[in-house]
Structure 1
Amino acid sequence: MQRYHTLCLLWLLTSPLLAQTTSLAKLWTETDRQYTLDNLRRTRDLIVQETQNLTPAQWKFKESPDRWNIGEIVEHLALWEIIWAREVSMGSRSKPQPELNQTSKPDSFYATWIMEDSPHVSPDFSRPTGFIEGKNNLAFFLKLREQTIAFVGKTGADMRAQFELAGTDSPRNMHQVYIFQWGHVDRHLRQIRKVKADSGYPTSSH
């Protein structure tokens, strides 16, 4: 009987600690964090690689009057860096809702959608103005991307338990918002390369 009481006492003493440990377990792992950082840095570096040595004429070249030039594409990317940062800021400070992961779409859905070949229509608030000089758009984008990388590296928020505030049947968690963020750059890198492959694209000597 004494042994039984001792076991009960041990259970009572350790079960709150067990419950606390379980409650503190995060869905967003360090592997997830590193994956996000790697892709944020990778897409940042590719934008630099594709644009850092462009001439003014190359920044301004358009395949046709209704298409964006490279300067406008990079301005569009910078505008979205602001939008993503605001969404993550709001979402990461809201009440955690890990249960939503049971019915939300998988990561692969968002990665596939952002990289599909079908055209996406940009909302008015993220359409480029064309007023900023090409190379300044790159500086604009890089400043904002560095802020995001710094935040991802240090945040203690559980990005798979924090969800966007949009009232949808399948909301995105913040990790999936980051997939959209770096995937969006991949999508427009494809567009930049298409501009550069056009037969009328100026050579570096022009």
Structure 2
Amino acid sequence: MKKLILPFAALILFSFSADTTKLNEQDREWMLKHLTETRNHMTQVLEGLTNSQLNFKPDENSWSIAECVEHLAVTENGFGGLIQKTVGAGPNPVLKDSLVFKDEDIMANISDRSNKVKTSEAFEPSGQFESFENTLQAFLEKRNAHIEYVKTTEDDLRNRYSEDLPFGPVDGVQLIIFAAGHTERHVLQMEEVMAHTKFPK
């Protein structure tokens, strides 16, 4: 009997000692705030736009509003995979002192439109969703899934780290805030398109 009890006890001990710290409720509320607010900002900007407005381009090198939405749908899906990878990798406290952002700076830095960044080809709009309605739905489904994850997870996101973003390491909480800031960046881009003098009325 002792031989059976000891391995079982060791298994239970390992399952709890591997990661006993849970997500801080303040961090949870912070992530939910930005994920929700940026989603809502986007849907408010898109409300009532016609096809000609959605597809208007200020110039040949600019994206239309519809293309911005497609980029967001593709990248939101990419963030989903990155969040899973980050959580699945387990704790890596050696990276704690290597973070490139302070929490209070991350939204402003990512959404800053004065800092121009060219996306990689994989995230370029290509019409893959076939219609604007499908594109928007794809974004909303993935964003809502991320919101539900944040509402319910006990994963210690402050002790999970990603080195997959181009500027350097972030922790799991910052990664999710980055996703929200990325949305806001492109919603601001949509508003710039709408402010163009030739934007269809």
Residue matched to 1:161: 159
> Can you give the 5+ residue segments of structure 1 that lack an aligned partner in the other structure?
1-19
Q: Determine the C-alpha separation between the residues in 2 that align with 1:25 and 1:130.
A: 43
Q: Structure 1 residues 136-145 or 108-117, which shifts more?
A: 108-117
Q: Please tell me whether residue 44 in structure 1 is matched to residue 42 in structure 2.
A: no
The match for 2:109 among 92, 104, 113 is 113
Per-residue deviation, 1:104: 2.0
**Per-residue CA shift, 1:53-83, capped at 9, x if unaligned?**
1111111111011111000000000111011
Q: Please tell me whether residue 151 in structure 1 is matched to residue 149 in structure 2.
A: yes
Instruction: Report SS of the residue matched to 1:160.
Output: helix
The match for 1:124 among 121, 124, 130 is 121
Residue matched to 2:185: 187
Residue matched to 2:87: 92
Per-residue deviation, 1:165: 5.0
> Can you give the 5+ residue segments of structure 2 that lack an aligned partner in the other structure?
1-15
Q: Please tell me whether residue 134 in structure 1 is matched to residue 132 in structure 2.
A: yes
Per-residue deviation, 1:201: 0.8
The match for 2:67 among 72, 78, 99 is 72
CA contact (8 A) 2:32 2:150 kept: yes
Q: Max radius of gyration: which structure?
A: 1
Whichever residue aligns with residue 82 of structure 2, its letter is E
CA contact (8 A) 2:42 2:187 kept: yes
Q: How many residues align?
A: 182
Whichever residue aligns with residue 111 of structure 1, its letter is M
Per-residue deviation, 1:149: 0.8
Instruction: Report SS of the residue matched to 1:67.
Output: coil
CA contact (8 A) 1:71 1:133 kept: no
Per-residue deviation, 1:168: 8.9
Q: TM-score, normalised by structure 2?
A: 0.82
- CA 1:147–1:91 in 2, change beyond 3 Å: closer, same or farther? same
The match for 1:55 among 50, 54, 61 is 50
CA contact (8 A) 1:92 1:174 kept: yes
Q: Determine the C-alpha separation between the residues in 2 that align with 1:202 and 1:53.
A: 13
**Per-residue CA shift, 1:95-154, capped at 9, x if unaligned?**
212342233232245334312312111011111113533333222211111111111111
Q: Determine the C-alpha separation between the residues in 1 that align with 2:164 and 2:183.
A: 23
Q: Percent identity?
A: 29
Q: Determine the C-alpha separation between the residues in 2 that align with 1:194 and 1:169.
A: 26
- CA 1:25–1:95 in 2, change beyond 3 Å: closer, same or farther? closer
CA contact (8 A) 2:68 2:186 kept: yes
Whichever residue aligns with residue 106 of structure 2, its letter is Y
